[in-house]
Every structure is written in structure tokens, then in C-alpha cells.
Structure 1
Amino acid sequence: MVYDGIIIALIVGLFRGGNFKGLADMKLKQAWVFPVLLMIQIAVYILQNKVPALGLYSNTIFILVYIVGLYFLWLNRHHPGFFIIFIGVLLNFLVMAFNGGRMPVSLEASSVLDPSFIEALKTGLYGKHAAITESTRLAFLGDIIPLSAPYPREQIISIGDVIMNIGVFFFIQYLMLGKIAKNPTPQVTTTN
């Protein structure tokens, strides 16, 4: 869902007269952390069912990724939107931490997804997610919001995802438009 939020924010920023120059000028503390965390998550997702030892520790790895990610967001909280992103990620982290490192997913909401995903949830083969059951803690913070047509991609999101994407939107709007508002084009005056 984060990628969708980024794309929507970029499109809105362009329609509002913004440009990509602000994205190039972005200055984040410890900026290398985010791509490294993303690569770790992708690697675990791809390899968790192929490498048994990795599968055993995947939930712990996801929790550690969230902890480091929260630290990165906290370091950069002074940027517009980053504190909102922090709150969204914190909500996702809390529900995962209270449920053994997995994001709880509503089976009812997942009816918009491919049946193979639902089967993987039921059997526990999908490492980062688990079906919501009676023993799930903080289930209301899990993936319970289904998105389907007219939305272009069928998926399920959490309240934390929604909040996180609001923060991403504000941050990208600031980068694309904020510098324009701060540095308006100088007025040229002529004297007779």
C-alpha cells in the first residue's frame, strides 16, 4: 500500500504544479537505512519457505526491521508528514508485536484476494501475515480494510497503512510544492 500512496502523492503533486526537484534535494538522516530494510524484507519474503532456518526466524526479523524503521522515522520526525508516518508504522508494529511478529489479516476482508492467498493464510505459509482468530490481539489494527474495484489493485490494508500513507502524502507534497511556496519567483521591476 505504501507504493500506491507514493504514486498517488506524486500524481497529485504534479497536478498541483509541483516538480521532482524537491525529491532530488531530499535530506534524510541515515537515509541508507530505508533501502536496506526494504531489501531485507524482500529477501525474507522470497526465501522464508525455501530456507527452513530463515523461516524459523522470519517473524523476529520482521520485528527487528520495524524497530530499526521506527528509529529511522523518529530521527527524521522534523520533516513534514514524518511523524504521521511514524504513528502509522507504530500501529502496524504494535499489532505485529502482540501477535508473534505477524500482521493479522481478516479472512472476510481477504475475500477480495486470490484464493491461494487465503489458503496460505489458513495454513500459516505466508510468513508476514496470519489469519485473525479468537486469540488475535488488537485485531482492529490488523489488515481489515479491503480495497477492490474501482481501486486499481485488490488488497487489504490496516488503519496503520492508511495513517502512514497520509503522512507519505504530506511529505511528498512538501517536497514537490513546499520549496516553490518558500521561494517564489522573484518579481522583476523596471524603472522608467
Structure 2
Amino acid sequence: MVYDGILLSLVIGFFRGGSLKGLANMKLRGGWLFPLLLVIQIIIFALQNKVSIIEKLSNSLFLLIYIIGLIFLWLNRNQPGFTVIFMGVLLNFIVMALNGGRMPVSVEAAQFLGREYIDALKAGTYGKHQAITSETLLPFLGDIIPLSPPYPRRQVISIGDVVMNVGAFLFIQHLMLSAPSEKTSTAPASR
């Protein structure tokens, strides 16, 4: 879902006359953490059902990734939108931490994703997700919002995902619209 928000923000930024130059000039504290976390998460997904130690530790590793991500966001809280992104990630972290390190997903909201997904969800073998049950704590913070056509991708998202996307939108709009335009940088100085 976050990728969708980033793409939408870029498109709207261009329509508003923005430029990618602002993205090139962004300065983030601990910026090296974000790509590292992404690589670790990809490795966990790739090895989750193949390497027993990763399988046993995957829920804890997902929570560790969220904690490091929250630290990164907190370090950059002065950036426009980062406090909002932090709140969205925190909401997702809270519901996952309270439910054993997995994101609870509404089976009803996910019905359109297919029988295989629902079976894997109920069996607890689908990545960092698990079905919402009567035992689930704070289920309203889980993936309960279905997105289907006319939305371009079928998925189920959480309130935290929506909040994160709002923050990412604000941040990208700021970067794209605050970049110096070519008109001002190439215009001759007045006397």
C-alpha cells in the first residue's frame, strides 16, 4: 500500500508543477537504515519457510524491523510528514506486537483475494499475517479495509497503512514542490 501512496504522490506532484530535484536533495538522518531494513525484510520473506531458524524467529525479526524503522522515523521527525508516517507505523507495530508479531487480517475483508490466500492466512503460513480471531487484540488496527476494483490492485490494508500513506504523500509533495525550479535558477540576475 505504501508504494501506491508514493506513486500517487509523485503523479500529483508533477500535476502541481513539482520536480524530482527535491527528491535528489533530500537529507535524512540514518538514511542507510531504510534500505538495510528493506533488504532484511526481503531475506526473511525469501527464507521464512525454508530455513527453520528464520521461521522460528520471523515474528521477532519483523518486530525488530518495525522498531528500527520507528527509530529512523523519529530521528527524522522534523521532516514534513514524518510524524504522520511515524504514527501509522506505530499503529501497525502496536497491533502486531500485541498479536505475536503478525498483522491480523480480516478474513471477511480478504475474501476477494482468493481461496489460497484465505487458507494460508488461516493456517498462519502467509508471511507476517494471520487471520483475525476472537483472540485477536485490537482487531480494528489490523488489515480490515478491502481495496478492490476500481482500485488498481486487490489488497486489504490497515488504518496504520492509510496514515502512513498520508504522511508519505505530505513528505513527497513537500520535496517535489520545494525544489528550485529551472526558471529561477537560469534567470539572469536583475540589476
The answer to whether TM tops 0.5 is: yes
- Describe how 1:18-167 pairs up with structure 2 within 5 A: 18-167=18-167
Deviations 1:75-127 (A, max 9, x none): 00000000000000000000000000000000000012132111100111113
Where do 5+ consecutive residues of structure 2 fail to align? none
The separation in 2 between residues aligned to 1:190 and 1:160, in whole angstroms, is 49
* Superposition TM-score, scaled by structure 2 size: 0.94
Of 37-46 and 157-166, the range deviating more from structure 2: 37-46
The separation in 1 between residues aligned to 2:151 and 2:190, in whole angstroms, is 52
* Residues 190/55 of structure 1: CA separation in 2 closer, same or farther (3 Å cut): closer
Of 38-47 and 71-80, the range deviating more from structure 2: 38-47
Q: Please state if 1:185 is matched with 2:159.
A: no
The separation in 1 between residues aligned to 2:171 and 2:160, in whole angstroms, is 17
What secondary structure, in the 3-state scheme, does the structure 2 residue paired with 1:17 have? Answer: coil
Deviating 4+ runs (over 4 angstroms): 186-191
Query: What percent of counterpart residues are identical?
Result: 61
What secondary structure, in the 3-state scheme, does the structure 2 residue paired with 1:84 have? Answer: helix
User: In structure 2, what is the equivalent of residue 11 of structure 1?
Assistant: 11
Give the AA of the match of 1:165.
N
Give the AA of the match of 1:9.
S
Deviation of 1:189 after TM superposition, in Å, equals: 8.4
Q: Conserved in 2, the CA contact under 8 Å of 1:112 and 1:147? A: no
What secondary structure, in the 3-state scheme, does the structure 2 residue paired with 1:130 have? Answer: strand
The separation in 1 between residues aligned to 2:71 and 2:189, in whole angstroms, is 49
RMSD: 1.8
